[in-house]
Amino acid sequence: MKKQVVLYKKLSPMLMSRLQAHADVTLIDEPKSDGLARLRAALPEAQGLLGASIKLDAALLDLAPKLEAVSSVSVGIDNYDLDYLDQRGILLSNTPDVLTETTADTGFALILASARRVVELANLVRAGQWKRNIGPLHFGSDVHGKTLGIIGMGRIGEALAQRGHFGFSMPVIYHSHSPKPAVEARFNAGYRSLDALLQEADFICLTLPLTAETEGLIGAREFALMRPESIFINISRGKVVDEAALITALQQAQIRAAGLDVFEREPLNHDSPLLHLNNVVATPHIGSATHETREAMARCAVDNLISALAGERPANLVNPKAWAVR
């Protein structure tokens, strides 16, 4: 008999057929509005779940007694309670690697846009305010040759380092749990303590996961260590940063600018002070949002779920403890 799968993210027709060949699929579109009620209603029969961007906490998953596997269409796993999943032997899988390059592209887009004031100056042109040659008031700062500081030297951090080192001749420094000799050799990169990186880097880029350890990692103390010409880039998760402290740092010119793809609360409230600061480039969590990459992520998530429901270990299993107790 086919397994019961609840989808809370739409798939392309090709991937939908692929999944339907293995499972009976119920699609809950837009679960954030009335869809959440429909998701709750579908959970009692669900053996597999596939989607992203919803916090699947214990209260929600208690409604799914038959659940065997959750396949997240994301690399970040901050929406899941790993201890709870482990206890119940529910397999969690994610979609690493396929989104690495695209997310690093987004990081670099934010570096360039904030340093060269692309959005602010494009808006000036659009508003008909380009009346004479642009002068120092509107000059940006160089990217090439500046020091790139990466906090979280994992897959995305490394792809960012590659762009900075080979494409823009940037000295690379980084902070991670531990030094990475292979990365250092490849990009001539230097390991730093967090504080030393914050003091030294021209571009400070967050590429680490949101965990209990990293929540609020960058706050008032950390912004105070940065230099007035520093540019802060966040493509990880909003809650790694104390957003109020970031706003203060920008308002008080403790740092020059920020390029932000992620926020404490998403979607970002339209009255956020961040949207009234010319030196902020804000994008709507588009790290992996290209046609090609989102399709590759969905394919990876479908394959993970098909394996898990067939009793096989999924290629991107996040919680091996659950595999052991299931």
Residues with catalytic roles: 237, 266, 285
The answer to the question of residue 292 lying near ligand NAP (CB under 6 A) is: no
CA atoms within 13 A on the CB side of 62: 3
| Minimal distance, residue 77 CB to ligand NAP, in Å | 7
| CA gap 14, 29 in Å, rounded | 17
Residue 313 CA to residue 194 CA, distance in Å, equals 37
Min separation Cβ 31 and ligand NAP, Å: 19
Measured from the CB of residue 11, what is the shortest distance to ligand NAP in angstroms? 19
Cα(215)–Cα(11) distance, rounded to whole angstroms? Answer: 31
Q: Which is nearer to ligand NAP, 121 or 160 (CB)?
A: 160
Among 52, 73, 208, 260, binds ligand NAP (CB under 6 A): 208
Contacts for 131 with CB less than 8 Å, ≥ 6 apart: none
How many other C-beta atoms lie within 10 A of the C-beta of residue 2?
Answer: 12
| Token digits of residue 264 | 């404490």
Q: Which is nearer to ligand NAP, 63 or 286 (CB)?
A: 286
The sign of the CA dihedral 45, 50, 53, 58 is positive
* Closest CB to ligand NAP among residues 31, 287: 287
305 binds ligand NAP (CB under 6 A): no
Can residue 91 be called a binding residue for ligand NAP (CB under 6 A)?
A: no
Q: Is 103 in the site for ligand NAP (CB under 6 A)?
A: yes
For the packed helices 291-309 and 13-20, what is the interaxial angle rounded to 10 degrees? 0
Pairwise CA distance, residues 324 & 326, whole Å: 6
189 binds ligand NAP (CB under 6 A): no
- For position 316 contacting ligand NAP by CB under 6 A, the verdict is no
- Chain residues in the site for ligand NAP (CB under 6 A): 75-76, 96, 99-100, 103, 152-157, 175-178, 207-211, 213-214, 235-237, 261-262, 285, 287-288
